[in-house]
Chain A
Amino acid sequence: MSKHKFRASTLPVLATVGPVSLWLAFFVAIPLLYVLVMSFCSIDENYNVVFQFTLANYRNLLDVNYLQIYVQSILIAFFATAFCLVLGYPFAFLISRTFQSRKTILYMMVIIPFWTNSLIRIYGWRTFLGASGWLNRALTALHLIDSPVEFLFNRGATVLGMAYVLFPFMVLPLYTAIEKLDQSQLEVSADLGARGGATFFNVVLPQTVSGVFSGCIMVFIPSLGYFYVADILGGGNSDVIGNLIERQFQSGNNWPLGAALSIILIAVTLLLVKLYQKCGGDMQSLGV
């Protein structure tokens, strides 16, 4: 690549980078700073936000109930991520290498469900798993069960829902990483008599670990916020941090508390992203 750069005269910089800077300032930086400010505000008796400094919102967050929901939310995100990784890794490997000749169409078939609205797909699970849903009716018809099994409205159902909507976000980075694997190294390893397991841990995994990390980040973080999955499949019994925030901006009518909850969520996110970068994760691969 040519090292030579145009001398940065101001006009072209302004013309190219100006719009995006303004946009990011107005719609990312300022709103987030405003949320931070609001998290230290109070509300009056009419639920209006008043700019009166208080730490009460953060004190409220230390309440044991909130702490338990954070833990629950993190566990839900963890299991959803694990579910996606365990099922998604072999799958990504198979579609990108084993069935290489058809990989484009196989890849597209992961994307296609995406084009159907995620809410209605989640509701599809509810129809499938409900007490009088397809699965229960099938099991009853086969005389495998007498009374309907309760699949819905618990943490497991929420985990399933999160894993389902976010599964492609795990598969796509894995696919990209596995696709780049150096075939000759695999062959050398096999020729040297290494067993499948050894080849996997010594050659395959280290080369694809970046895909694993970005997949995990892209599943874990959103699962902390997807309140509608917890509502539809969890039935309101397995709230995630997103539900807490949503409630304060809706029925709770307490924006400062909701803002403080958001700040916590941002902090968790930044922590995870830092961790990701520490592990050598490439930020760019989160967005492509």
Chain B
Amino acid sequence: MKKKQMIGALLALSVLLGSMTACGGKISTTGGGSASTGGTSAAAGKGGLNLYVWTEYVPDSVIQNFEKQTGIQVNVSTYSTNEDMLAKVKSESEGAFDIVQPSDYMVEQMIKQGMLQKLDQSKLTNLKNISSVFLDQSYDPGNQYSVPYLGGVAGIAVNTSKIKDQITSYADLFNPKYKKSIVALDDYRAVLGMAARSLGMSMNETDGAKIAQIRTQALKLKDNIKLYDSDSPKSALIAGDCSLGFCWSGEIALAIKENPAIKIVFPKEGAYVFFDNWCITKGAKNAANANKFINYMMDAQTAKAVSDEFAYLQPNKAAVELLGGSYKNNPAENVPEDVIQKGEHVKNLDTATLAKYNAIWTELKK
């Protein structure tokens, strides 16, 4: 016993000393300005910016380029669903994050809750690059609080080397023969919305009887879903863990690049459609930098670099010109307009309804 503790003490000491010397040098080279060591306040000095964005959505190279151009140090945190983001921003002190990236309905929700601040339109000189189709949406008329970043649908991915049937609809995913073969978004509004669409209902039903039907339908999916993954569903498709996917169109596009046997299907019921946006939080400590960043993201070259890495629907028409045919002719990336038109957006529902949705979700995932 004594010996063991001796060794423990020695180890502890040497580890402590080792770690101090190992990191000591580096700390002095980067100085105190490191955004990541001081949490919320560190980046607040001169030249910081705290981003809170979706996983697998903003390329590192684009952020590094911004840092190089402006000298602003960017600190990136990521989230997996709109609701996760909302929860975290609410629990943090005000202005802990400067920029968030909510989808359409979440923009509306955050405006309603007074969590966003108006953008400085005078700084957004690149707004002209954005196609008017994506501007002035119902969730934020006049784009006072948000500008579009990327969009897409929650489509169906089919690995045609394993699935020989014609898949045309969300309803096809409910076929009992696809037991344990689907990778689905880990996002309750998306999965339950999909179940609703497959019944010809809206993703935003509030009627109790209809919700009960959606529940019955959703539970049929239980045996078919092998894995829930919102962050990188392409991994399971590429690795062959799953032969069907219910996931973001951009993820499917990337999976196709890795494995051409994978195809994207736009459900005939009309897909889940989303636009994600740049917003600045209320009380943001680096609002000026945030406006600068958002304008930078709307630059044609930047937007092109984004599309080169993450294959979503690009609202930046100047970037689309730069991207050319490889983008325009790729339906997984440049989702056809009729698909967008026919699709449906998630809307904000009251907390009582959402609690019902959450209960179904728990039942589905247990």
B87 lies within 8 A of A236 (CB)? no
A47 lies within 8 A of B241 (CB)? no
CB of A254 within 8 Å of the partner chain: yes
CB of B362 within 8 Å of the partner chain: yes
A236 lies within 8 A of B365 (CB)? yes
A66 lies within 8 A of B7 (CB)? no
- Per-residue contact bits, chain B 223-258, to A (CB 8 Å; 1 contact, 0 not): 001111100000000011100000000000000000
Q: Contacts A47-B86, A250-B83, A253-B86: A239 and B7 contacting too (C-beta < 8 A)?
A: no
Pick from A47, A60, A104, A249: contact of B7, CB under 8 Å: A104
Cα–Cα, bound, A104→B11 (Å): 13
Cα–Cα, bound, A265→B124 (Å): 50
> Which of A19-27, A148-156, A208-216, A273-281 is the contact stretch?
A148-156
B87 lies within 8 A of A253 (CB)? yes
B359 lies within 8 A of A65 (CB)? yes
Find the A residue at minimum CB distance from B188: A251
A235 lies within 8 A of B113 (CB)? no
- Specify which chain B residues have a CB less than 8 angstroms from the CB of A253 in the assembled complex: 83, 86-87, 90
- Specify which chain B residues have a CB less than 8 angstroms from the CB of A148 in the assembled complex: 240
Find the B residue at minimum CB distance from A56: B355
- Specify which chain A residues have a CB less than 8 angstroms from the CB of B4 in the assembled complex: 104, 107
B351 lies within 8 A of A47 (CB)? yes
Pick from B83, B84, B187, B366: contact of A72, CB under 8 Å: B366
- Specify which chain B residues have a CB less than 8 angstroms from the CB of A46 in the assembled complex: 112-113
- Specify which chain B residues have a CB less than 8 angstroms from the CB of A244 in the assembled complex: 362
A152 lies within 8 A of B241 (CB)? yes
Cα–Cα, bound, A253→B186 (Å): 15
CB of B358 within 8 Å of the partner chain: yes
A63 lies within 8 A of B359 (CB)? yes
Interface residues of B in 1-21 (CB under 8 A from A): 1, 3-4, 7
Pick from A47, A104, A133, A237: contact of B90, CB under 8 Å: A47
Cα–Cα, bound, A239→B4 (Å): 38
A153 lies within 8 A of B241 (CB)? yes
B241 lies within 8 A of A65 (CB)? no
Cα–Cα, bound, A122→B229 (Å): 16
What is the interface size of chain B, counting residues whose CB is below 8 A from a CB of the partner?
34
CB of A90 within 8 Å of the partner chain: no
B84 lies within 8 A of A250 (CB)? yes
Cα–Cα, bound, A153→B90 (Å): 32
CB of B289 within 8 Å of the partner chain: no
- Specify which chain B residues have a CB less than 8 angstroms from the CB of A249 in the assembled complex: 87
Cα–Cα, bound, A47→B362 (Å): 18
Q: Contacts A68-B366, A239-B365: A251 and B355 contacting too (C-beta < 8 A)?
A: no
Interface residues of B in 90-136 (CB under 8 A from A): 90, 112-113
- Per-residue contact bits, chain B 58-100, to A (CB 8 Å; 1 contact, 0 not): 0000000000000000000000010110111010000000000
CB of A205 within 8 Å of the partner chain: no
Cα–Cα, bound, A236→B7 (Å): 41
- Per-residue contact bits, chain A 77-107, to B (CB 8 Å; 1 contact, 0 not): 0000000000000000000000000001001
B186 lies within 8 A of A131 (CB)? no
CB of B308 within 8 Å of the partner chain: no
- Specify which chain A residues have a CB less than 8 angstroms from the CB of B365 in the assembled complex: 236-237, 239, 243
How distant is B329 from chain A, measured CB to nearest CB, in Å? 30
- Per-residue contact bits, chain A 203-243, to B (CB 8 Å; 1 contact, 0 not): 00000000000000000000000000000000111010001
CB of A45 within 8 Å of the partner chain: yes
- Specify which chain B residues have a CB less than 8 angstroms from the CB of A66 in the assembled complex: 362
Cα–Cα, bound, A160→B41 (Å): 41
Find the A residue at minimum CB distance from B351: A45
CB of B350 within 8 Å of the partner chain: yes
Find the A residue at minimum CB distance from B352: A45
B3 lies within 8 A of A104 (CB)? yes
Of A132, A179, A251, most B-chain CB atoms within 10 Å:
A251
Of B3, B88, B365, most A-chain CB atoms within 10 Å:
B365
- Per-residue contact bits, chain A 60-80, to B (CB 8 Å; 1 contact, 0 not): 100101101100100000000
Interface residues of A in 147-180 (CB under 8 A from B): 148, 150, 152-153, 176, 179
- Specify which chain A residues have a CB less than 8 angstroms from the CB of B172 in the assembled complex: none
Cα–Cα, bound, A235→B3 (Å): 43
CB of A18 within 8 Å of the partner chain: no
Q: Contacts A104-B3, A235-B227: A132 and B240 contacting too (C-beta < 8 A)?
A: yes
Cα–Cα, bound, A130→B229 (Å): 15
Cα–Cα, bound, A63→B239 (Å): 37
Cα–Cα, bound, A43→B227 (Å): 31
A130 lies within 8 A of B241 (CB)? yes
How distant is B83 from chain A, measured CB to nearest CB, in Å? 4
Cα–Cα, bound, A108→B1 (Å): 14
Interface residues of B in 311-362 (CB under 8 A from A): 350-351, 355, 358-359, 362
Cα–Cα, bound, A66→B362 (Å): 8
Given known contacts A68-B366, A236-B186, A250-B84, what 17 new A-B pairs fall within 8 Å (CB)? A43-B351, A45-B351, A47-B86, A48-B90, A65-B366, A69-B366, A104-B7, A130-B241, A133-B239, A150-B226, A152-B227, A152-B241, A235-B228, A237-B365, A249-B87, A251-B187, A252-B358
Binding site for B on A (CB under 8 A): 43-48, 60, 63, 65-66, 68-69, 72, 104, 107-108, 130-133, 148, 150, 152-153, 176, 179, 235-237, 239, 243-244, 247, 249-254
8 contacts between A and B (CB under 8 A): A44-B351, A65-B362, A104-B3, A152-B227, A236-B186, A249-B87, A252-B358, A254-B355
Binding site for A on B (CB under 8 A): 1, 3-4, 7, 81, 83-84, 86-88, 90, 112-113, 180, 186-188, 225-229, 239-241, 350-351, 355, 358-359, 362-363, 365-366
The 4 A-B pairs of least Cβ separation, nearest first, read: A236-B228, A235-B227, A251-B83, A131-B241
